[in-house]
Chain A
Amino acid sequence: MTRLKTLGCALATTLMLGLPASAALAKDTGYIFVSSENDNAVTVLDGKSFQVVKAIPTGERPRDMKLSADREQIFVIASNSERVDVIDIAKLEVVRSIDVGEDPEMFDFSKDGSKIFVSNEEDAAVSVVDVAGNTVTAQVEVGEEPEGVLVSKDGNRLYVTSEVANMVHVIDTATNEILANVVVGNRPRRFADTPDGSEVWVTNELGASVTVLDAKNNTIKETISFEPKGFRSDDVTPVGITMTRDGKTAYVTLGRANHFAVVDVASRQIKDYVLVGNRAWGVTLSRDESMLVVVNGLSDDISLVDTKTNKVLRSVPVGRVPHTAVIDD
């Protein structure tokens, strides 16, 4: 018995030592990373077996996450610790933290990756953070409860929603000045943009709709309403949104309606409504866009969807109150 134990220990040590050596191979691990607001951790799932590989401890209340441009790191907002934690994918641990101001919620990278733009929910501000220098270099005052953050494809524009002012703020990334305030639907949340950058889509949580903005003139081009069968409009609360790389299809999660919508971008037609878990918010496509991951905040699981058939393949339990999924495939 004692021998076995010792052996197990030795084995573990070898594995630990093995990790740095395999660092070069750590890219494209296939892992699915899911932030869990109430666990202060990011859950790591194997991309094939969907078993939990590890729960990486982070700052308090981890929410929005994104891969770095080189895909070797994951940046995760730790709202209640007022910082962004940087996870090294090879090590599966937080390797450094960046202070980003009070109550951060979502963020995006500047085009060159040197800066991040962070919405500070309680401060009614967007912080401009120098990643290398670890410092907030500017704060732009916006409407109360800023949430969604998007940097345009050309890197020149920063879009931020204010949930309370019901606005999209359009900010010049060179000067940090607000160029336009566009009143959209009620409680605007998050963004997606078309590959040519001509349209910015924003979800309106109250109002069951997406507003399509003309990115050139900062005007409203169209409003797309969601009416899944069997739901009253008031119970349809769109929050998450993502778009395929070819800009043909958008996926919009409908929150309390426990569905997501598949939208044909060109025709604005809703092609399908798919049942997922409780309070579907976060939504992420795999790199080859064959799989969609939907994060169900109030059923503590994620739904894995085949994008060819729009069928849910399986749902996988993760941590408590999951927020965002990132796939390293």
Chain B
Amino acid sequence: MSLRALMHTALAASLLLFALAAGAAEVIRFGYLELNKDARYDERKAFFRTLSRPFGPPYAGAEVALREARFVGQALGVSFDLVRACGADAPALVAELDKLHAEGVRYFLIDAPGKVVAEVAAATRGRALLLFNVSAPDDALRQAQCQAHLYHTLPNHGMQTDAIAQFLVFKKWRNVLLLQGPLDDDKLIGAAFENSARRLGLKIVAKKDFVLSNDPRQRELGNVGLLTAGADYDVVFVADSDGEFARSVPYDTVLPRPVVGAEGLVAEAWHWAWPRHGAPQLTSRFEKQAKRHMGSADWAAWIAVKSVVEAVVRTGNAPFDNLVAYLGGEDITIDGFKGNRLYFRDWDRQLRQPLLIATHNAVIERAPIAGFLHQTNNMDTLGFDRRDSQCKP
């Protein structure tokens, strides 16, 4: 028998086994909430593949995690399932959530922009369910808009800018030119970076607004040469959530200086080129599933499912409240393939994690960078520490 035939036979046999097991087993279902149309995944925008845009919707990340859970579920006599639900806006997603909740679904991944996540979280507070934010990096969701049942597996802007700022301090590139775009999200990223710079002692030598324009009347705002002339600086930080402007900044600066933030060098939850801690195997499983590279939101969806699976396994599928206490507690070991044991911050339910500081095709460093220490966990040097938290759900 050929190897391939043999493998098919083995697969068929094991599928049969799962089917039998599934008959008796409890099924733990995940709901995946997403918008009918999400501009962040617009293929026409995504074609130029900037470092600040996702490769595609992160649903495949959840699928990979579900597949990984087969064996351990089998040993426990449970099986896991994933249901995809779409809506036009936050109220529509809440309606979908209500339907699934009535059917017994307790764990939801929400893949939507920050405003929608905030609305859905506010509308469902106090209910016996968990919402995992897998694609909104907004700081406000971890601060004023936080909710007791809203967990974040994607790093927030503050974690990303702290990671970049640590890297700049480590390299002694202390003088920064900040270029900030006109979009709301650009301003959030710019503000997060200014905060990181203040915390870590970087000097912002100039902050300039940019616009995407060829209009000669706006050339001071649209021309990279003019924007990067004047004061000297060690590095340019571009706050550009859209990415189209940022991609033209490297090599177009007046001075020969590196570019970070939205292009050149970015801080991400995941990068397909990360070679350690089993990462190539995960990336390869993901690529087989999604037929594209794996990015940060994909990782965030994957780890959200994995977190629940880990809690189910270690608590022996305890009742919801006990399971949530374990999931959000200090004893859980969540394996994110980044070398550290991960677990959620109890003050805002953000998953503490290392960030990968990467170019288009290489991971240059991992933050927290050696030497940036914290009294309890060095990963808490990234983002909102307990004392910075304004989260009062």
Q: Show the binding face of A for B, using Cβ within 8 Å.
A: 101, 103, 121-123, 125, 136, 138-145, 162-167, 181, 183, 185-187, 206-207, 232-234, 237, 256
Contact = CB atoms under 8 A, between A and B. Distances in A.
Given A141-B11, A141-B14, A145-B281, A164 B377 contact: no
A122 B284 CA distance: 8
Interface centre among A123, A145, A165 (most CB of B within 10 A): A165
A145 B333 contact: no
Interface stretch (B66-74, B145-153, B210-218, B231-239): B66-74
B344 to A, nearest CB: 15
B340 interface: yes
Contacts of B313: 166, 183
Contact of B10 (A141, A183, A234, A237): A141
B339 interface: yes
Given A103-B281, A122-B284, A187-B335, A165 B10 contact: no
A206 B284 contact: no
Contacts of A234: 340-341, 377
B335 A183 contact: no
A143 B72 contact: yes
A34 to B, nearest CB: 20
Contacts of A165: 68-69, 71-72
Nearest to B3: A136
Nearest to A255: B339
A164 B11 contact: no
B285 interface: yes
Given A186-B341, A234-B340, A142 B71 contact: yes
A101 B341 contact: no
A125 B339 CA distance: 24
Given A140-B10, A164-B68, 15 more contacts: A101-B3, A103-B281, A122-B281, A122-B285, A123-B7, A139-B7, A141-B10, A141-B14, A144-B285, A166-B310, A183-B72, A185-B333, A186-B333, A187-B335, A234-B340
Interface of B: 3, 6-7, 10-11, 14, 67-72, 74-76, 278, 281, 284-285, 310, 313, 333, 335, 339-341, 377
B71 A143 contact: yes
B10 A186 contact: no
Given A145-B281, A207-B333, A181 B74 contact: yes
Contact of B75 (A183, A207, A233): A183
A101 B10 CA distance: 15
Nearest to A186: B333
Contacts of B76: 183
A305 to B, nearest CB: 25
Contacts of B341: 186, 206-207, 233-234
Contacts of B67: 144
A101 B310 CA distance: 30
A181 B310 CA distance: 16
Nearest first, the 3 A-B pairs at minimum CB distance are A143-B71, A181-B75, A186-B333
Contacts of A237: 339
Contacts of B71: 142-144, 162, 165, 167, 181
A134 to B, nearest CB: 12
Contacts of B333: 185-186, 206-207
A186 B335 contact: yes
A89 B68 CA distance: 40
25 contacts: A101-B3, A122-B281, A122-B285, A123-B7, A125-B7, A136-B6, A138-B6, A139-B3, A139-B6, A140-B10, A143-B68, A144-B67, A144-B71, A163-B278, A165-B71, A166-B310, A183-B72, A183-B75, A206-B335, A207-B333, A207-B341, A234-B340, A234-B341, A234-B377, A237-B339
Contacts of A207: 333, 341
B133 to A, nearest CB: 24
Contacts of B340: 206, 234
Contacts of B281: 103, 121-122, 144-145
Contacts of A187: 278, 335
B68 A144 contact: yes
Contacts of A233: 341
A142 B3 CA distance: 16
Contacts of B75: 167, 181, 183
Interface centre among B11, B285, B333 (most CB of A within 10 A): B333
Contacts of B3: 101, 136, 139
Contacts of B7: 123, 125, 139
Contacts of A167: 71-72, 75
Contacts of A183: 72, 75-76, 313
A163 B279 CA distance: 12
Contacts of A162: 71
